[in-house]
Structure 1
Amino acid sequence: MYPVTITAARMGLREFTPADVEPLLSIYGDPAVTRYMSFESRTLNQVQNTIESVIAAARADERLDYSLAGVLPDGELVAFARLSIDVGHPLQSSGQIGFALRADQWGRGLGSEVVRLLLRLGFDELGLYRIWGARDPRNEPSARVMAKAGMVEEGRIRGHLRLNDGWRDSVIHSILAPEWPDIG
């Protein structure tokens, strides 16, 4: 499925372009934003590589990665949104979401809109059965965003990720397709 464009009242998701490097750097280059992510803040070169990689993945014959720019109605990029299809899962009916919102946009409900758009993409457009997300146990705002979207906290994976400061647990949240129509 290419290109992807999906919108709501206050937020939209679209494909990334080469012009998105600087706006994405304002998200991925910010230590406050990446504090609870699975990677450290990124450099300009790393963000350029990320943009090149997601643009190439978007045009794959069998698209498994939907990394999309989260934009305001005026087109301003304020979020990175990702839905990755779980490879090897029967009939590829499961996907993982991830999202990052520019720090100056926190607390406005935009993270919830990004997640709802990702769920719409996964359930309504791609026909997935299960969508899940993982978060750092300390990231309570992310827990609230996923709960607001109808995602259920499933449990904790201990020692899930190794970061520069050591091993980190992850808390898993999910939602199933039969639960989505009641929420979406």
Structure 2
Amino acid sequence: MYPVTVKGDRVSLREFTPEDVDAVLAIYGDPVATRHLSFEPRTREQVQATITAVTNAARAEPRTEYSLAAALPSTDEVIGFARLAIDTQHSGQNSAQIGFALRPDTWGQGLGTQTVELLLTLGFDHLGLHRIWGARSPNNTASDHLMRKLGMIVEGRIRHHLLIRGAWRDSIVHSILEDEWQATAQS
């Protein structure tokens, strides 16, 4: 499926373009924004390589990665990076992992909640997935609250999951199933 656009009232998800490098650098290059992510802050060259990779992956057949710009609908200003990656190894492509990051000056405004809600809409309503999961830093209480608010259940802890900044970090896994999403969406 290309191009992808999923619209909300406060955030829209759309394909990245080469012009989005600086907007993504404001997220991926920021130590505050990347504090709970699975990587250290990135340089402009690294972000440019990421945008090139995701724009190329967007046209793959079959498409298994949906890395999308989270933008404000009124201005198309990119404020976040949203990703849904289809699990291709063991699930029969009925499961996917989500991830997201927003520019710190947009935190606390409900934009992250709508970004994840749009990823769930993409996965369940457009791609017909059965299960969507996400992993977060144990210290990222905002993501914990956000995922629980959207009906995602805590499945458990992956111990020493990631080596970041020279130290091992655990990850907390949340997931939601298609029928749980349908029940949440209808309420």
TM class by smaller structure: over 0.9
Structure 1 distance, partners of 2:54, 2:4, is: 13
Residue 105 of structure 2 corresponds to 104
Structure 2 distance, partners of 1:110, 1:25, is: 19
1:35-78: CA deviations, max 9, x gaps?
Answer: 01100001000000000000000000111000000000120100
Q: TM-score scaled by structure 1? A: 0.98
- Any residues of structure 2 matched to 1:3-152 within 5 Å, and which? 3-73=3-73, 74-152=75-153
What are the ranges of 5 or more consecutive residues in structure 1 without an aligned counterpart?
Answer: none
Structure 2 distance, partners of 1:146, 1:96, is: 13
Residue 173 of structure 1 corresponds to 174
1:155-183: CA deviations, max 9, x gaps?
Answer: 10101111123111000000000001122
* Deviation of 1:90 (Å): 3.0
Structure 2 distance, partners of 1:164, 1:139, is: 17
1:85-123: CA deviations, max 9, x gaps?
Answer: 001123210000000010000000000000000000000
Give the residue type in structure 2 aligned to 1:9.
D
Q: What value does the CA root-mean-square deviation take over the aligned residues?
A: 0.7
Q: TM-score scaled by structure 2? A: 0.97
How many residue pairs get aligned? The number is 184
Residue range with higher mean Cα deviation, 157-166 or 112-121:
157-166
Structure 2 distance, partners of 1:176, 1:131, is: 7
Give the residue type in structure 2 aligned to 1:100.
A
Structure 1 distance, partners of 2:140, 2:48, is: 27
Structure 1 distance, partners of 2:119, 2:76, is: 18
Structure 1 distance, partners of 2:68, 2:59, is: 13
Structure 1 runs of 4+ with >3 Å offset: none
What are the ranges of 5 or more consecutive residues in structure 2 without an aligned counterpart?
Answer: none
